[in-house]
Structure 1
Amino acid sequence: MTWLVFLTALVAWELIALAADSFYFPRMTEILDAAATEVLFSGPASHLFLGEAVFGVLVPSLGLALGAWLLAALAGVIIGTALGRSPWAMDYFGALISFFRSIPPVTLMPVFLILFGLGTDMRVAAIVFSTLWPIVLNTVDGVRSVDSVKIDTARSLGTPRRYWIGMIVLPAAMPKVFAGLRLSLSIAILLMVVAEMVSSSGIGRELLTAQLGSDYPLMWAWVLMLGAIGYTLNTALLAVERLVLGWQPGRGDDV
């Protein structure tokens, strides 16, 4: 059913663009042709016909974004667990974390440009900083919502405290942790594009170059590919969530 909706949207775009005959909104067939011939399948047979943009633009950009997101995920879960387990930490740091969380990530780009320049460090720093806070706050919320009965049971059974986090706290908090991970993944893709627009390479730079060169079929091709990438990554993360949380009643089939 989902693919039928996508197909209907593509056909509707084609018909509307054909009727409007606008230079800025090309037909879907032109956009798909640009994606295939100029980005995806413009390479030699030795590279499985995959174009230079796949290995020189798509793979590096996604690798950097996912690497920075994973770094933020690791740090966010550790920090969030520590803050959530502490009875007083959020009283001191909660307002500061909420303040950083409230800053629109895009507005910090000039700061990261000043601190790190136009290179890879700037992009990694921007993504890590912007994606860290949703993970921290959701982890804190998840850790604090752990049923006290589970802790009391572990205590009565003599389970050492050093095992509580791995055996009780994190498993119970994982639904909210995954909610933070999904939100931060969307932010990571957004920051990847914005950071690359002011950088010298990447998907964002290619999209901006196509727009400045009035190559609108290619520009829209990059936009659609970004949408497809975001949808695919979110679907993959949902699959991981179902796998990890499959032991919880009602979670295996409905996440």
Structure 2
Amino acid sequence: MSAPPRTHESPAPVDEPGPLTVPSSREAAGAWVDVVLPCLDEAGALAAVIAGLPSRCRAVVVDNGSNDGSAELAAGLGATVVREPRRGYGAAVHAGLLASTAELVAVCDADGSVDLADVARLAEPVVDGRWDLTVARRRPAPGAWPAHARLANRALALGLRARTGLVLADLGPLRVARREGLLALRLADRRSGYPLETVLRAHAAGWRIGQLDVAYAPRVGRSKVTGTLRGTVQAARDMSRLLGETR
């Protein structure tokens, strides 16, 4: 299957510094899926997260300014480590996408809330040509998803449907698509709006988007975004801005 078409409303190119990459001890050429893991102080979760990688998947850990030794730990565990000094979820994911080399890329939280064994299952519909983008739908364990974050997600899903007609119950903590297709979307958001922009631009470009359930466990350590009320409000603002720009 060829890469999905470019969107016709892509922004102009932005000159950006390339990420500083520490090579992995695994052979990148042998990877089937590169799993981009944005990381900010996730040392407590990384060992179990990386250990859960399916075969022929490579961890691309993007350190976004950690102070707990996350980058060094990830490198010691065999991950490719990318250092992205610009703070922001979108900045970290974009740096990981640039550093990836596999045909398929998964983007997943590095906090231990999602079992990376699910990457293979979410990749299957992309590989066999049914979908161009698979988005996870959280099935949370008790206490895993704070009420304020659930409410914000529900409002976002309703706004997405109203603006585009696209029915997704959750933007999810895990997404899978072809790397070249994602690069062709020319995603510009470098903060919390990145997951929504991915879906909006993919939809505008005519991508087939599907959703599969994943178990969602309580994260390891302190949440920096949707686990806090302040982080949830900021993420909601970023995403509401993107929805407001959608016609």
Report the TM-score range of the alignment, normalised by the length of the smaller protein: under 0.3
Larger relative contact order (C-alpha < 8 A, sep ≥ 6)? 2
Q: Which structure features the higher share of helix residues?
A: 1
TM-score, L = length of structure 1: 0.22
Q: Which structure features the higher share of strand residues?
A: 2
TM-score, L = length of structure 2: 0.23
Indicate the structure (1 or 2) with the bigger Cα radius of gyration: 1
